Each structure stands twice: as structure tokens, then as C-alpha cells.
Homo-oligomer: A and B are copies of this chain.
Amino acid sequence: MLNWDDLKFFLAVSRAGSVRAAAEELKVNHATVSRRINSFENSLGQRLFERTSQGYVRTRLGDEIFNEAAYLEERLSNVERRIMGNDEQLSGEIRVTMPDLVAEELLLEGCALFCQQYPQVELDIVDSIKLLNLANREADVAFRIVKEPPEYLIGRKLAVLHRACYMAKKNLPLLKKEGWLEQQNWIGWTDKQRRPIGKIAKEYPRFSSKHKIANSKLQAIATRNGMGIGILPCFVGDRDPELVRIPPYTSEEKYDLWILSHPDLRKNAKIQTFVRFMTEYVHGNKGLLEGQEFIEP
């Protein structure tokens, strides 16, 4: 039986005049187009195109089919419109979940831009520490900070999150005092993690730990107020005008930021548009996330 999709390829090549141009239009690799046209012709036992050095030109049979196929495509776009929602515009709801810190500092801005561009789409944003279950479809899209995402989800790594050590900017004059920095303390997270780990923490072996604040946002505020040295994500610290890194100003990569969705939604136009949009948005702010926007004093 005829493969309907083959006609789509036939039309694209017909109009574009070459395999490569058609491939771009169809957003697939040009080798795929080449092979599918060849396979289509084989299945018919007929040639639809003459191969010239400039590209593909329809044969007589190709011409005959072209008109019918073009008409079909036209009608098909009606179906598509009817399915995709009555407008060309995307509409409906997208449920998104994201960690509160990145949400506040960065992602919400991106979401706002998205809503501006697609006003019909309604975002249901859940800023939750708890990992919502994408498998159960509690959310359509998730931003997560992990090293490796679960393998049953699909998505991309958006950025490598860096962190660095910060102090309150208002204490900057004290830094010149000999021995002052050495007497400072970390701001602790929990009992177990009173001593920060990672290579960056080893730069300051003599720091002690004081306080316990198990929340990133509050850690930032505490640091801002001079309660100690905070290890904060660069996208928080570098952007905060009241914070400065301490010497030697280096940052350390810790986790990765991923955007994830369920494989079933891989072909869903609305979801994928959102994913692409946010991916691009975050890439635009990659420097901040990866701690490259800090300028040494």
C-alpha cells in the first residue's frame, strides 16, 4: 500500500528542486530525503525525477502526480489546522516544574517572554523542591538540577551550573586587613554538611562553620548581611550587587541544569515549542550560569 508520507517528501523535493533544499524545509537530514525518494521510486517501479547536476527535475509521471499531491497537501493543511487548534497560534496549558532558585533568578523571565510571544498559552508553573513525577504526567516539562537525568526522560543539558564563594560587599574594606579573611566562617547548611565539600572549599581550609541555613535564597541574604562566607550559585552571587567573590575568585562546576519531558510528548508541537524557546533563552544566559560574567576587581 502507498505510504502517504512519501508524498510529503515528493512534494518537498518537487518544489525545492533539490534534495538538500527539500531536507532543510522538512527539517531532516538530506540523506534521508535522498533515500526516501529512491525507495519511493523503487516501490513504484517508476522514476519521478530526472537527476541533473543541478538537482532533481520531475519526470512526466512526476508532473502528473504533482498536481494531485499538491491538492492533497492543501486539503491536509485543513486537517492540520483543525487538529492543532483552530488557529495557527499555540494555545492551551503547559504544566512546568522548576527549582525555586533558578526559577526566581532566571527561568521565570524566560517564561514571561514565552507567554508574551504565545499569548494563548497558559503556563501552570509549580516551583517545587519535590520532584514531580513526569511519568504520571503531573507535569509536562521539568527543569532539574542533576548530574545525569533519569534515562526514561528526554531533554537536553542547558548549562553547567557553577558556584563560587561570596562575601558581603559592604565588608570589602576589611579584606585589606591582614588575616581578616582567614578568620571568617562558612555559613553552614545542615549538621551533616557543616563543612562544605568540593575542591573550592579546600582553598580555605581554615574556615570554620557557623549557623545552619538550609535554603539557598536565605543563604544569599545571610551572606549579604555579613553572617559569613556563602557558597552560592554564580547566577545568584555574580548578579547580586551586594555580594562579591573572595580571592582567588574561582568558580567550580557542581551540577547541570536540564530541561526534561516525557518521551510521549516528543512530537507534541506545543511542548516542543516551549522546550526550544526556553533552551534558546537559557543559552543566551549561559555566561551567568557558568560563572563567566564575574570580573575580577
Q: A236-258: which residues lie under 8 A (CB-CB) from chain B? A: none
A44 to B46, CA, bound (A): 35
Q: What residue of chain B has the Cβ atom nearest to residue A267's Cβ?
A: B43
Q: Secondary structure at chain A's binding surface: helix, strand, loop or mixed?
A: helix
Known: A45-B91, A90-B46, A91-B45. A68 touches B61 (CB 8 A): no
Q: What residue of chain B has the Cβ atom nearest to residue A93's Cβ?
A: B45
Q: What residue of chain B has the Cβ atom nearest to residue A73's Cβ?
A: B4
Q: Are A46 and B76 in contact (CB under 8 A)?
A: no
A178 contacts the other chain (CB 8 A): no
Q: List 22 A-B contacts (CB under 8 A).
A: A1-B26, A1-B27, A2-B76, A4-B4, A4-B7, A4-B76, A7-B76, A39-B264, A42-B265, A42-B268, A44-B87, A44-B268, A45-B91, A45-B269, A46-B86, A46-B87, A65-B82, A68-B82, A69-B79, A72-B76, A72-B79, A75-B75
- Given A4-B7, A46-B90, A72-B75, 20 new contacts (CB under 8 A): A1-B8, A1-B26, A1-B27, A2-B76, A2-B80, A3-B5, A4-B5, A4-B76, A5-B5, A39-B267, A43-B266, A43-B268, A44-B83, A45-B92, A65-B82, A65-B83, A68-B79, A69-B79, A72-B72, A75-B75
